[in-house]
Amino acid sequence: MKHITKMWLGICLCLLIGKEVSGQSDSTGFYVDQVLNPSNDSARSIALHRLAALREPSTFPLLAAINDKKIYLLGNNPVTTGEKEELAGGVEGFTLFYLFPKLEPVLEADGKAKKVTVESLKKVDVSRTDRLSLAPVLPYLNLTNPDAKKRIIAYGQLLTSLDSLKIQILSEALQLEKDKDALTAGKEILFQLKLNEVSLVKDAKAYIDSLDSNWGENVTVILKDYSVSGKVEGAKAYAAKKVEALDELQTRIQKAQNLFSGISLGSILILIALGLAIVYGLAGIINMAHGEFLMIGAYTTFCMQSLFIDILGIKSDLFFLVSLPVSFIVAGLFGLVLERFVIRHLYARPLESLLATWGVSLIMVQLARSIFGDLTAVKAPSFLGGGWQVMPHLILPYNRLFIIGLTIVVVSLTYLMLYRSRLGIQIRAVTQNRNMSACLGVETRTVDAITFFLGSGLAGLAGCAMTLIGNVVPDMGQTYIVDSFLVVVTGGVGKIAGAILSGLGIGFLTKVLESFYEAVYGKVLILALIVIFLQFKPRGLFPDKGRIAED
């Protein structure tokens, strides 16, 4: 009896298979039901074979979940899980997605995405033999994946597919595409496939124009290959002209990208050198430990991340916003300690101060290595992820835009402090003539301490910003200390305007020269240019007028 039932079911399914496309929608739902709730073992196998043969885009999420062994039932609806995340109480959970008739998140009554543990779901077990029946449609299964990166990979895999329906299926998938980058990548594949199939010059030029206007990542390579080995002779020269135009445009974009990279690097140098310029102008101290205050600011940010996420359990970007003032204060306090116990005894003694602060620098680096190890990292805030797309292929990262904005704010506040406050007047007075300032009642020792606090704090703030674009390592400050001194000397000791102009200039030249030469040779050329500049302007862009100049 059991065999007879299987036979009749097979006959019924075969009759359904023979139906025309007009009844495909109803039959698709029937096959999905047979996969989820089969009446017998053969029913699921036949249904999976039929779904693979139909190549219906609405079933791709379901088939992908079956292939990945991540298909479950929520009531009578097939669901799958998204990325793993931590739920309340430290339990690992997943966001749920409906699979059919369309891929969409499962929502709670309040409209939020439903998150559950795997144990609370009813798993649908599909045998390996049945999963192997999906082999003909494997290139299509990720076309509707929730992850845009996986969809982009799936689009690319269609280039090598021999399926005659791949253009039709890709076109249908792109109609549902919402992600901008994935849509661009998918269209590039679609236009390339169509270009390789047409035989008329008019059609070939139309698809070449489509590739040009879409301007995906590989459009230049595609058109260059077609200009050499394309099928339509009349369109090959047209493709070559498009390649030339795209190369010229790409050159202009690269120049703009170098300009932005130079401004962002210059902003970092300005943040680091600003405090150094003030301190050097005030005390005549060559502080080789200034870079380590940058390191202190970076490790302070790392500690705040650990405090918020690991100890307090606050998993948000709040830790970074708190780290900005905290890193300034912590680095400033370290600067106060250094000034009180070391620097205070070495004013106007450049050689001794250089050796002493260099020794302090080595101690601080080794101390950081003993406490934190050789490499740590700070998780970048989510609101600084990605970038602003000015135009195709020209994207300005938000983290570097933030650094530029932070530099503008810090420079503005420093200017107001130096030129629009009583403290600023005292700092500038002591910088120009310490003895006369003391005679007029200025507490020069107090001004020295406050200035070191501010200068060290600015370096710590730069360290906090540096965590956005690099790892935190014990010797990270030594990477920038030489460049910082170059900024100070080139711009003029103690001059904010000089630090801004020289920082931006050195940063921009560094990126420009690195684009033509290796980084090492670029740095050598920068040093050579600065040496030549100082032959004509030995006191920098804005010569110092204080007691260092008098000496």
Q: Could you tell me the pTM of the whole model?
A: 0.73
In this structure, the answer to whether residues 259 and 302 fall within a common structural domain is yes
Q: What's the pLDDT score for residue 207?
A: 93
Contacts of 112 (CB under 8 A, 6+ apart): none
Q: How many domains is the chain built from?
A: 3
Per-residue three-class SS string for 251-286: HHHHHHHHHHHHHHHHHHHHHHHHHHHHHHHHHCCC
The whole domain housing 284 covers 252-544
Length of the chain: 551
| Nearest residue to 228 (alpha-carbon basis) of 245, 240, 244, 241 | 240
Tell which of 168, 199, 231 closes a domain. Answer: 231
Q: How far is CA 327 from CA 62, 89, 300, 406, in A?
A: 50, 31, 6, 14
Specify if 456 maps to a domain. yes
CA atoms within a 13 Å half-sphere pointing along the CA-CB vector of 177: 25
Q: Considering all CA atoms of the chain, what is the largest pairwise distance in Å, rounded to the nearest integer?
A: 114
Tell which of 146, 167, 202 closes a domain. Answer: 146
Supply 389's token pair. Answer: 């797309």
Distance CA 458, CA 328 (A): 6
Specify if 381 maps to a domain. yes
Q: What's the pLDDT score for residue 89?
A: 65
| Continuous segment of H or E residues that includes residue 394 | strand 394-397
Specify if 117 maps to a domain. yes
- Domain with residue 284: its CATH number is 1.10.3470
CA atoms within a 13 Å half-sphere pointing along the CA-CB vector of 530: 26
In this structure, the answer to whether residues 28 and 7 fall within a common structural domain is yes
Backbone angles phi, psi at 25, to 5 degrees: -60, -45
In this structure, the answer to whether residues 304 and 453 fall within a common structural domain is yes
Specify if 242 maps to a domain. no
CA atoms within a 13 Å half-sphere pointing along the CA-CB vector of 174: 21
In this structure, the answer to whether residues 36 and 180 fall within a common structural domain is no
CA atoms within a 13 Å half-sphere pointing along the CA-CB vector of 342: 22
Q: How far is CA 199 from CA 42, 95, 194, 203, 219, in A?
A: 46, 48, 10, 7, 20
In this structure, the answer to whether residues 367 and 469 fall within a common structural domain is yes
Distance CA 176, CA 102 (A): 10
Three-point CA angle 155, 83, 156, nearest 5°: 10
pLDDT tens sequence across 284-306: 667 888 889 999 999 999 999 99
In this structure, the answer to whether residues 488 and 510 fall within a common structural domain is yes
In this structure, the answer to whether residues 201 and 306 fall within a common structural domain is no
In this structure, the answer to whether residues 414 and 293 fall within a common structural domain is yes
Distance CA 548, CA 43 (A): 91
Specify if 169 maps to a domain. yes
| Nearest residue to 502 (alpha-carbon basis) of 276, 302, 328, 303 | 276
Q: What is the DSSP letter of 107?
A: B
Specify if 240 maps to a domain. no
Is residue 288 within 8 Å of 354, Cβ to Cβ? yes
Query: Mind giving me the DSSP string for 80-99?
Result: EEEEEEE-GGG-EEEEEEE-
Euclidean distance between the first and the last CA atom of the chain, given in angstroms as a whole number: 111
Q: What's the pLDDT score for residue 284?
A: 64
Specify if 244 maps to a domain. no
SS3 of residue 52 by DSSP: helix
Tell which of 130, 146, 162 closes a domain. Answer: 146
In this structure, the answer to whether residues 260 and 157 fall within a common structural domain is no
In this structure, the answer to whether residues 332 and 393 fall within a common structural domain is yes
- Would you put residue 103 in left (φ > 0), alpha (ψ -120 to 50) or beta? beta
Specify if 238 maps to a domain. no
Q: Which amino acid is at 460?
A: G
In this structure, the answer to whether residues 362 and 448 fall within a common structural domain is yes
Question: Can you give the pLDDT of all 551 residues of the chain as single tens digits?
Answer: 444 444 444 444 444 444 433 344 567 888 888 888 887 778 888 888 888 888 888 888 889 889 888 899 888 889 998 877 777 666 788 888 888 888 888 888 888 888 888 888 888 888 888 888 888 888 888 888 878 888 898 898 888 887 888 888 889 888 888 888 899 999 999 999 999 889 899 999 999 999 999 888 889 999 999 998 888 888 999 999 999 999 998 888 888 888 888 888 888 888 888 888 777 766 666 788 888 999 999 999 999 999 988 888 777 888 999 999 999 999 999 999 998 888 888 776 777 888 888 899 999 999 999 998 888 888 888 888 888 888 877 888 999 999 999 999 998 998 898 888 888 888 888 877 778 888 888 888 888 888 889 989 999 999 999 898 888 999 888 878 888 888 888 887 666 777 788 888 888 777 777 767 766 777 778 888 888 888 888 777 776 554 444 44
In this structure, the answer to whether residues 136 and 203 fall within a common structural domain is no
